Structure 1
Amino acid sequence: MAAPQSSPRRVAHQMLDRITGEGRLMSELLAAGALDRLEPADRARAQRLALDTLRGLERADRLLERHLRKNPPLSVRNMLRLATVEICMGGDAHGVVNEAVAIVGQDKRTGALKGMVNAVLRKIAAEGPAAWVKLRVPRLPKWLRAPLVEAYGAPAVAAMEAVHFATPPLDLTPRGPATDVAAAVGGIVLPTGSVRLGAAGQVTSLPGYDSGDWWVQDAAAAIPARVLAAQPGEAVLDMCAAPGGKTMQLAAAGARVTALDLSEARMARVAANLARTGLQATLVVGDALEHDGRYDAILLDAPCSATGTIRRHPDLPHAKDGSDFGALIDLQARMLDHALGLLKPGGRLIYCTCSLLPDEGECQIEEALESHPGLVVDRDALARPGVDPAWITPEGGLRLRPDVWAEQGGLDGFYIACLRM
């Protein structure tokens, strides 16, 4: 028998199985070619189906538990989840149900359950859409929600979860005037200078992509380089550079940029992005803890839990459980110590993480200040266009949360601090 033909739903289902069953991140699956079997037009649809399902997983499970006598195997549950989310979000119930039944039926391990899948999904098609909108906004898992509630309070976390549940907009960092890029792509200019689009479609087809007029970068992720404010001719180290958004910002400012990253494959993306935009940087593949040199300024976007990116990466709470965060926090401290030793006298360092956990942000800076006599936090560096003084934390960093500018689609969670020796 010929192998079943790939389709967006089938591939989305396979990705869900690997994320929820194997703890794989979607970025890993995409890098490994999860979408390669699909035609280009279907790749975005498969990814969207998987992301929508992950965002709506709690609601889907609440609807399904009304019709399931016992818990089916994970692969079958994931097919039910995907179909439930698609139906409740306005998908064609007939087509969704038929393909879901076919996918389950074609697998020898689950084929006997296709009748159950058909019966449950027909009930979902009849009752689900009306019930869907009455359910609460899906919550973060307890392992992550509890420390965030402790840090920010339950109302703030609920506001973040509401942003997580919505499909995020697309942000671009312009190489030239933001107003020109916004006019070309049909976006708006955010107060910090990024350009935001509500529905971008295929990124590579947007005006200005081929000519390198902009690159994709969340508006929060663009702020650290703006706080660094690299000057023409300065020697600047982008210490964990991939995929290169900050490297391009620094190079566009005229700095002599060294982009450092441990991954050769990820550094290839940096090289490709630089080539498209016509910007230049020295690329170094290596361990940041072993790097040597002297720099006027350093940008350390340290490896972290990435909990601030859940609005764009809803797979993270389902693929991770927080067990590796302790090792990350230790690595951040060691990298920050090493980076400070690479600064020229009077130099400045931006420490940032795309994390919502204070242990990866505020606490790191407090401990660094205690460990390094003469080290100070430069609060004045934070006075950049669009930066709200309310975001400044007691120790002098910036705390960005997903519920910032929620009406416009929110921001990634980030922590940013500027240090001077």
Structure 2
Amino acid sequence: MADSRKPDSKPAPARRAKAAVIPPSPRGGAVALLDAVLSPDTGASLPEVLTAPPAAFAALDPAGCARAQRLALTTLRHLDRADAILSPHLRKAPPPHVKNLLRLAVVEMLHEGAAAYGVVNSAVGALRGDRRLQAMAGMVNAVLRRASETPDGTWAALPPQRLPQWLRQPMVHHYGRAVVGAIEAAHMEGAATDLTLRPGVAGPDGVTLPTGSLRVAGAQISALPGYDAGDWWVQDAASALPARMLGDVAGLRVLDLCAAPGGKTMQLAAAGAQVTALDLSGPRLARLRDNLARTGLEAEIVTADALHWLPDAPFDAVLLDAPCSASGTIRRHPDLPFAKAAGDLAALTALQARLLDRVLTPSAGLLRPGGVAVYCTCSLLAAEGEDQARAALDRHPHVVAQPVTLPGLPEDWRTADGGIRTRPDYWPELGGIDGFYMVALRIGAETAAAAG
């Protein structure tokens, strides 16, 4: 008897293979950070990204987070070099996430010397665990295996990461191409850790720099001797100079504007000043409070807008560390060129000018006649440094630049206007220094009344 059952009109659909579940890893967290920083839609610095971190990063334990951040920052320092290695092996640009995965893998293999087998397998496994990108696992495997065969010496011969054009062009105009190339090479090397010591404290093992800061080898900061006792705080050697430009501040009333996270506030307080630390950001001032508590130093803390705040009486001295592009800190924050844009600069320079006018106008009540203000920015751009100070002096004829003498300061760091300019390519034999501009400006007591 014939089988009366009708054959199935369609074969049963094949079951789709489940993607492997990939546990959180520092490499995955690093790629997630790269995706966020390099996204054209985000335009965020790494600290901004970390305020609401991607899930692949947030799932890591503290040690994993630290390694993920280090991997991401190292990759950002060598992005152009990684792309130069990958380009001959790619027929077309892969999706951004895959491209960042490839970049990270190349940096691990060629810069850090990680074993190619483990790096390639990790990258391929990460894609096989993502249904959207499973099809690209084979391509990534082939590209990375070719990249791992890069001849010895090729990576080291590649030029360093270039600054974006909006930043590079004015720097070339001001410093020249050779200096900018040296600065870019210094950025690639990264930054050491500098400490500012309380007076009379020996500090942990390290190298004492000519200007007095202590440079320590890479170590967990909180594990160094003297951390719990508050004997010192982390502060780049360049950042430690502006407060010293005020000279002997013992017993003086000093206003630290834009003070958080507090390195300069602690310097002034440790030197015996009566410090008022003012900042617009409450969360940043919370870090300052923590730093003061650890070091046992005291300062009055004010959360306010420096453009409108009025003190009870003018101060003897003002330290204005103005908001800026932070282009002088790229060697320790390689994410900054990707988070900043040319359009940000106009707003920053306008704010710097307004803050300077607020400090230098006697009738504003911040600085007494005869008092000294130190203006500084952690920027390599003359528009935020030398040009800004020159324009302020033109607007305020009652103010003069006051050249200062600082122990250990090389003469070629002094500028024609009486200020000080540091650059990342300085002290190459010691590990470099952040880029800063700083100048001391004195209000003439005899002309202050006429200036109003």
Q: TM bucket by the smaller chain?
A: over 0.9
Aligned pairs for 1:74-93 within 5 A: 74-89=96-111, 90-93=113-116
Match of 2:409 among 376, 387, 412: 387
Amino acid at match of 1:318: F
Aligned pairs for 1:264-303 within 5 A: 264-293=282-311, 294-303=314-323
1:335-394 deviation line (CA, Å, top 9, x unaligned): 111122310111110000000010101111111111112100001x2x111112221212
8 Å CA contact 2:29–2:65 kept in 1: the answer is no
Say if 2:209 is the partner of 1:190.
yes
Q: Residue in 1 aligned with 2:228? A: 210
1:37-94 deviation line (CA, Å, top 9, x unaligned): 3222223211111111001101000000010000011111111001100110201222
8 Å CA contact 1:88–1:128 kept in 2: the answer is no
Instruction: Go from structure 1 to structure 2 and tell me whether the alpha carbon gap of 1:200 and 1:176 turns closer, same or farther (over 3 Å shift).
Output: farther
Q: Which runs of 5+ in 2 are unaligned?
A: 1-18, 444-452
8 Å CA contact 1:230–1:297 kept in 2: the answer is no
1:192-247 deviation line (CA, Å, top 9, x unaligned): 110012x3221111111111111111110010011122522211111001111001
1:245-270 deviation line (CA, Å, top 9, x unaligned): 00100110111111111111111000
Instruction: Go from structure 1 to structure 2 and tell me whether the alpha carbon gap of 1:297 and 1:68 turns closer, same or farther (over 3 Å shift).
Output: same
Q: Residue in 1 aligned with 2:434? A: 412
Work out the CA distance in 2 between the residues paired with 1:65 and 1:125: 14
Q: Residue in 1 aligned with 2:257? A: 239
Match of 1:176 among 183, 188, 199: 199
8 Å CA contact 2:110–2:155 kept in 1: the answer is yes
8 Å CA contact 1:239–1:300 kept in 2: the answer is yes
8 Å CA contact 1:63–1:128 kept in 2: the answer is no
Greater Cα offset, 370-379 or 105-114:
105-114
Work out the CA distance in 1 between the residues paired with 2:223 and 2:394: 50
Instruction: Go from structure 1 to structure 2 and tell me whether the alpha carbon gap of 1:3 and 1:217 turns closer, same or farther (over 3 Å shift).
Output: farther
8 Å CA contact 2:232–2:295 kept in 1: the answer is yes
Say if 2:253 is the partner of 1:253.
no
Greater Cα offset, 3-12 or 76-85:
3-12
Work out the CA distance in 1 between the residues paired with 2:248 and 2:61: 42
Greater Cα offset, 52-61 or 25-34:
25-34
8 Å CA contact 1:84–1:128 kept in 2: the answer is no
Aligned pairs for 1:347-386 within 5 A: 347-379=371-403, 381=404, 383-386=405-408
Work out the CA distance in 2 between the residues paired with 1:240 and 1:374: 24
Work out the CA distance in 1 between the residues paired with 2:151 and 2:232: 41
Amino acid at match of 2:164: P
Cα distance, 1:405 vs structure 2: 0.3
Q: Residue in 2 aligned with 1:101? A: 124
Work out the CA distance in 1 between the residues paired with 2:367 and 2:83: 52
Amino acid at match of 2:235: Q
- Compute the TM-score of the two structures, normalised by the length of structure 1: 0.95
* 3-state SS in 2 of match to 1:30: helix
Match of 1:398 among 408, 411, 420: 420
Cα distance, 1:96 vs structure 2: 1.3
* 3-state SS in 1 of match to 2:425: coil
1:300-354 deviation line (CA, Å, top 9, x unaligned): 0000011100111111112222221000000000011112231011111000000
Work out the CA distance in 2 between the residues paired with 1:224 and 1:299: 8
* 3-state SS in 2 of match to 1:210: coil
Cα distance, 1:3 vs structure 2: 6.8
Work out the CA distance in 1 between the residues paired with 2:21 and 2:276: 48
Instruction: Go from structure 1 to structure 2 and tell me whether the alpha carbon gap of 1:75 and 1:129 turns closer, same or farther (over 3 Å shift).
Output: farther
Greater Cα offset, 223-232 or 404-413:
223-232
Identity within the alignment, %: 55
Say if 2:76 is the partner of 1:62.
no
Say if 2:176 is the partner of 1:157.
no
Work out the CA distance in 1 between the residues paired with 2:59 and 2:151: 32
RMSD of aligned C-alpha atoms?
1.6
Match of 2:156 among 118, 133, 144: 133
Work out the CA distance in 2 between the residues paired with 1:97 and 1:203: 33
Aligned pairs for 1:312-351 within 5 A: 312-340=332-360, 341=364, 342-351=366-375
Cα distance, 1:103 vs structure 2: 2.1
Rg (Cα) greater in structure: 2
8 Å CA contact 1:354–1:413 kept in 2: the answer is yes
8 Å CA contact 2:21–2:129 kept in 1: the answer is no
* 3-state SS in 1 of match to 2:277: strand
8 Å CA contact 1:172–1:214 kept in 2: the answer is yes
* 3-state SS in 2 of match to 1:323: helix
* 3-state SS in 2 of match to 1:260: strand
1:103-132 deviation line (CA, Å, top 9, x unaligned): 233233322211111111111122265421
Cα distance, 1:32 vs structure 2: 3.7
Work out the CA distance in 2 between the residues paired with 1:388 and 1:204: 32
Q: Which runs of 5+ in 1 are unaligned?
A: none
